[in-house]
Amino acid sequence: MSDTPWKTENWFTSPWNFAPEVTKDWKFPEKIQIHDVTLRDGEQQAGLAFDFDDKIRIAEALAEAGVHRIEAGMPVVSKDDAKVVQELARRDFGPKVYAFSRCMVEDVKRAVDSGVKGVIMEVPASPHLIEHGYRWDLERAIDLSIESTNYAHDQGLEVVFFPIDFTRSDINWVIDLIDRVGQEGHMDGLALVDTMGATSIHAMQYFVRSMKARFPDIPLEAHFHMDYGLGIANTLMAVSEGVEVIQSTVLGVGERAGNVPMEETVMALRTLYDIDIGIKLENLKGLADLVRDVCGVIVPSNRPVVGDDLFKVESGIIATWLLNCGDEFQTDVLPFRPRMVGQAEPETVMGKGSGIDTVKEWLARIQVNVEDEKSMDVLMAVKDWGLIHKRLMTPDEFNALAKDVLGL
C-alpha cells in the first residue's frame, strides 16, 4: 500500500477510508476472486435470452478481463445450456468453469457429463421455501442434499453449497441444517446467499461472523441481490470480514433487481480499499457494452463506472473546474480517470445547465472570439433553447444558434 492510497495518478477518494480507526478491523483475505454468474443467474432477468454464440462471446470477454471463475450454466435445463457448459469446460482459456445444479443426483450427473471441475449446488435453506416453494418435507430436502453432494464429491467435483433464501431463516436453524448436510454429505465451499437482497449492512457483518465461527475451515462466497440497492455494500462488508469469492454479474443483470454488478464492486475494492484482485479495469466498459448489446438491457446513461454519459459535464461550475484543471489535475474534479475503466475522456457538453466558460470554449472551437457580454447573450439563448428542447445541443445546433445571436 502506498503512503496515500486514496490519491494516486488515477483516482482521488477520501483519506478517511484509510484512517487507522477504519482499517483496524479489516479482515480482507489475501486472495479475492470473482465468480461470474452472468450466463446463469444473469439470464434469469425477465426477457433475457442468450444463445450459444452470445454466451461464448461473453465468456471470452470475461476471461480477457481476468475473471477467475465462470458459472457457465445449468446443464439439466436444456440441451443448449448443456452444450455451452461443455464447450466452456473443455477450453483452457483462464477461468475455472462451474456448473449449477439442484441437489439432485440427476442434475449432478449432467454436470459431470459436461466436464466441469466444480458445481454450485442449490440447497433449500428456509422452512417456508421448503414447505411452500418446493412443497417438500424437511427430511426429503436434507436427504436429497446429502445424497447429491456425496455423489458430486465421489465424481471428483468441487462442491459449493448454495443455500437458497439463507438470510430469511433462523440463523441457528439454518446453520444446523448446513452442518448436517456438510457432515453427512460433502461441502468444499459455502455461498452466503441473500436471495431476496433483504439483509442490512449491519446484519451482514453478523451473518459473516456467525458463519466464520461455525465453519472456520470452509471458504465462504458472497452471492447477494440488489432488491434494496445494498448488494455492493454488503459484498464489500462480507469480503472485509474474510469472504473470499464474490459472485456477481456484468451490469448487475439478474432476477428482479438483479445481482451484484461486478463493475462497481471491483472499482470500489481498487479505489476505496486499494485492493487489486486482478481484474483488468480498462476492460470494464467494453465488457458492459457487449452484454448490453447482446441482451438488449437498458443501461442508464449515468450508470456508475460504465454509463455512456458518465463523464459528460454540463453543469457550469463543474465544467469550469474541468477546464481549469486539465488532464494533469483531472482527479481533482473526478473520483477516477475515465480511461482507467475504458471510458472516453471527459468532455463539456452544451445544455440548459451550461455556464459561460463552456460557451467560450465552444465558440473558440469555431474560431469566434467576442467580449464577455456577447458570450453571455449566447449563453442565455442556449438556456432558452434547453428549456424548449429539454436535451443537449449538438455542435451544429450550437454553431447555428451562436452565429444567429452574434449576427455572423
pLDDT of residue 333: 95
pLDDT of residue 139: 74
pLDDT of residue 126: 67
pLDDT of residue 130: 65
Cα–Cα distance measured from residue 225 to residue 114, given in angstroms and rounded to the nearest whole number:
28
Instruction: Give me the helices (H) in 273-371, please.
Output: 284-295, 316-325, 356-365
In the chain, which residues fall in CATH 3.20.20.70? 15-295
Cα angle: 207, vertex 209, 214; to 5 degrees:
100
**Who contacts 87 (Cβ-Cβ below 8 Å, separation ≥6)?**
52, 56
pLDDT of residue 111: 95
pLDDT of residue 134: 65
Nine-digit cell at 167? 438470510
Nine-digit cell at 216? 472456520
Q: What is the pLDDT along the chain (408 residues), one digit of tens a residue?
A: 678 999 999 999 999 999 999 999 999 999 999 999 999 999 999 999 999 999 999 999 999 999 999 999 999 988 999 999 999 999 999 999 999 998 889 999 999 999 999 999 987 766 766 666 666 666 777 888 899 999 999 999 999 999 888 898 888 888 888 888 889 999 999 999 999 999 999 999 999 999 999 999 999 999 999 999 999 999 999 999 999 999 999 999 999 999 999 999 999 999 999 999 999 999 999 999 999 999 999 999 999 999 999 999 999 999 999 999 999 999 999 999 999 999 999 999 999 999 999 999 999 999 999 999 999 999 999 999 999 999 999 999 999 999 999 998
What's the pTM value of the predicted model, to 2 decimals? 0.93
Cα–Cα distance measured from residue 42 to residue 39, given in angstroms and rounded to the nearest whole number:
6
Listing DSSP states for 208-262 in one string gives: HHHHHHH-TTS-EEEEEB-TTS-HHHHHHHHHHTT--EEEEBGGG-SSTT-B-BH
Report how far apart, in Å, the C-alpha atoms of 388 and of each of 135, 346, 355, 396 are. Answer: 58, 26, 18, 17
pLDDT of residue 358: 95
- Say which CATH topology domain 15-295 has: TIM Barrel (3.20.20)
Q: Which amino acid is at 230?
A: L
